[in-house]
Chain A
Amino acid sequence: SQELEQSPQSLIVQEGKNLTINCTSSKTLYGLYWYKQKYGEGLIFLMMLQKGGEEKSHEKITAKLDEKKQQSSLHITASQPSHAGIYLCGADYNQGGKLIFGQGTELSVKP
Chain B
Amino acid sequence: ETGVTQSPTHLIKTRGQQVTLRCSSQSGHNTVSWYQQALGQGPQFIFQYYREEENGRGNFPPRFSGLQFPNYSSELNVNALELDDSALYLCATRRPGQGNTGELFFGEGSRLTVL
Contact = CB atoms under 8 A, between A and B. Distances in A.
A111 interface: no
Interface in A55-104: 88, 90, 92, 95-104
Interface string B39-54: 0111111001010000
A41 B108 contact: yes
Given A42-B4, A98-B48, A103 B56 contact: no
Contact of B101 (A4, A31, A45, A103): A31
A33 B43 CA distance: 13
Size class of the contact patch on chain B? 20 to 34
* Best-buried of B50, B103, B107 by chain A (most CB within 10 Å): B103
B64 to A, nearest CB: 15
Residue of A40, A43, A96, A101 with most partner-chain B CB within 10 A: A43
Given A42-B90, A103-B41, A95 B99 contact: yes
A106 to B, nearest CB: 9
B109 A40 contact: yes
Given A42-B2, A43-B90, A97 B109 contact: no
B105 A97 contact: no
Contacts of B108: 41-42
A97 B98 CA distance: 10
A48 interface: yes
Contact of B42 (A44, A48, A102): A102
B112 interface: no
Interface of B: 2, 4, 31, 33, 35, 40-45, 48, 50, 55-56, 58, 88, 90, 92, 94, 99-109, 111
Given A97-B55, A101-B35, 17 more contacts: A4-B42, A40-B88, A40-B109, A41-B108, A42-B109, A43-B90, A43-B92, A44-B106, A45-B2, A88-B43, A92-B101, A96-B48, A97-B33, A99-B43, A101-B42, A101-B43, A104-B41
